[in-house]
Amino acid sequence: MLQVRVKPGIEDRIKGFFPWIYRPEIASLSRKPRKGELVVVRDFAGKFLGYGYINPEVSIAIRILSFDKNEKVTPDLIKRRIREAYNYRKKLYINSNAYRLVHSEGDLLPGLIVDVYGDYAVVEFTTYGMAQFREAVIEALVEVLKPKGIYEKANLTAAKIEGTGVEEKVVYGEVPEEIVIWEHDLRFYINVPEGQKTGFFLDQRNSRKFVRTLVEPGDRCLDVFCHTGGFALNMKKIGAKEVIAVDISDLALEMGKRNEDLNGLSGIEWVEANAFDFLRKLDRSGEEFDVIVIDPPSFAKNRHSVPNALRGYKELCVRGLRLVKPGGYLAIFSCSFHITQQHLLDVLTEASYDVRRQVRVIATTFQDKDHPWILQMPNTLYLKGVWVEVI
């Protein structure tokens, strides 16, 4: 097996169970590496640190799968980790038939995402190294889930960076173009091939439930970057008189309308527009809302894009605070690791100064518990939300 030594000082972080080794941190290789092959990681003096896989072409060159010298990386290890992930989910009592089964590093399986939608599973390989275990992953999913079908979703970012390939296909059984899932007392259509991520934003389940505690019958609500209407439908279900849901994707809005019909609801106004432009238009018109949820896509793909991203968040907060009635609520989310909860608090503070509105934080939320994050690896905590009341 390829032997890798890291530079002095790097070993402390690895001993603390941080599973990434960046390319400049590698001191030496026992030979020229092959993309995706397994490696033994050692400190500069040659002491064992872990087993992982390597891709010398990317920034995160090595991802560690085992820190135990007696636990080598094999297909059986991958299968065992998937079984452990499944057993963990069974303890969560998620009120839905859709959940994340494997959350990459959060389940000690870097480069692997598996979402379950009822009788079907969707798998994503986000690294070249993990894709080498494709057969073991599929076998384990069939054994654990006994699904009717498994669909492999291509991650375009991973394909570009890692070279994982971009072919999407059914890899087991049959998978219909559309699946109906349930979450609490609502149902949703899922279009796996054309949906964002693996088809649905499962990580916001807890926040979709929380918004119901804020909406009162007769309220006027706004769902910005609504996708297929997760927040909008929950606000309408709990009794909002008027809900406006805005997104730039016509496909997402069409699915949202169908989700509204599926649940026997009516009265949601679905608006195809650029969210920034639409918020400015509402502001100029003097519109007011009782509850506003702003859940944008990732504005910060890397740390270099953080300053521009914060300017975008600042504008969203300014517009949102101007549109909320006194006594109303605003929620703002970040789904990027690079935008922290403190970043959100800072831009909310700045925005409140600019619009002369006093606010108090009533809650902070994170990705739901089937998207676990590892304390020693902050990167696994990516979804943050801040909920405020305008006094």
pLDDT tens readout for residues 149-170: 999 998 887 888 888 877 899 9
pLDDT tier, 283 (very low <50, low <70, confident <90, very high otherwise): very high
Structure confidence at residue 199 (pLDDT): 73
Structure confidence at residue 22 (pLDDT): 97
Question: How distant is the alpha carbon of residue 208 from its chain centre?
Answer: 14
pLDDT tier, 116 (very low <50, low <70, confident <90, very high otherwise): very high
Mean predicted confidence (pLDDT) in 301-323: 93
Mean predicted confidence (pLDDT) in 187-194: 91
Asked if pLDDT for residue 195 goes beyond 80, the answer is: no
Q: What is the CATH number of domain 201-390?
A: 3.40.50.150
Residue % of the chain over a pLDDT of 90:
91
Superfamily for domain range 2-66: PUA domain (2.30.130.10)
Structure confidence at residue 155 (pLDDT): 82
Report whether 146 contacts 126 (CB < 8 A): no
The reply to whether 335 belongs to the active site is yes
Mean predicted confidence (pLDDT) in 286-294: 98
Domain 2-66 and domain 201-390 have a common topology: no
Structure confidence at residue 360 (pLDDT): 97
Q: Quick one: which H or E segment has residue 237? A: helix 230-237
Mean predicted confidence (pLDDT) in 95-119: 97
pLDDT tens readout for residues 235-261: 999 999 999 999 999 999 999 999 999
Q: What are 75-82's contacts with CB under 8 Å, separation 24+?
A: 75/133, 75/135, 75/136, 76/136, 78/109, 78/133, 78/136, 78/137, 78/140, 79/136, 79/139, 79/140, 79/143, 81/107, 81/108, 81/109, 82/109, 82/114, 82/137, 82/140, 82/141, 82/144
Mean predicted confidence (pLDDT) in 331-347: 95
Tell me the domain boundaries of the chain.
Answer: 2-66, 75-179, 201-390
Structure confidence at residue 301 (pLDDT): 80
CATH match for 75-179 among 3.30.750.80, 1.20.1530.20, 3.40.50.2300, 3.40.50.300? 3.30.750.80
Structure confidence at residue 161 (pLDDT): 87
Average pLDDT, the chain: 95
Asked if pLDDT for residue 198 goes beyond 80, the answer is: no
pTM of the complete model: 0.93
Give the active site residue among 221, 226, 317, 335.
335
Mean predicted confidence (pLDDT) in 107-121: 97
pLDDT tier, 197 (very low <50, low <70, confident <90, very high otherwise): low
Which of 34-38, 41-45, 85-89, 374-378 is predicted with the least confidence, judged by mean pLDDT? Answer: 374-378
Scored b (16 or more CB within 10 A) or e, 247-265 reads bbeeebbebbebbbeebeb
Start-to-end CA distance of the chain, whole Å, equals: 62
Asked if pLDDT for residue 193 goes beyond 90, the answer is: no
pLDDT tier, 192 (very low <50, low <70, confident <90, very high otherwise): confident
